[in-house]
Amino acid sequence: QSALTQPASVSGSPGQSITISCTGTSSDVGGYDHVSWYQQHPGKAPKLMTYEVINRPSGVSNRFSGSKSGNTASLTISGLQAEDEADYYCSSFTSFKNWVFGGGTKLTVL
């Protein structure tokens, strides 16, 4: 089972919006709505940011939004803030009865 494909890095200035893509196949991202996104600051455990493509857990800012089209999911962060600088990972449940992660994207706030 191959990892989902994410860009290695993205960057943006405070106040701007950025989008991180996550490309899979019809066996994972394209076949299920069990796509989720995670934020990880250095030395910390990951934190769930969105689940089932578009849903946000309680307490997560509405500046974070998820979407999906075909085999590609996306995480958009609007109104970038310095505290958003972190690594971001996507994940999907798959038809092989397992879960797969993307390789991770490092977000830099300029």
Residues near another protein, by CB under 8 A: 1, 3, 32, 34, 36, 38, 40, 45-48, 51-52, 55, 57, 89, 91, 93, 97-104
Q: Which one, 1 or 17, has the nearer CB to another protein?
A: 1
Question: Among residues 57 and 79, whose Cβ is nearest to another protein?
Answer: 57
CB of 9 to another protein, least distance (A): 13
Q: CA distances (Å), 107 to each of 11, 32, 42, 102, in order? A: 5, 26, 12, 14
What is the C-alpha separation between 1 and 101, in angstroms, rounded?
10
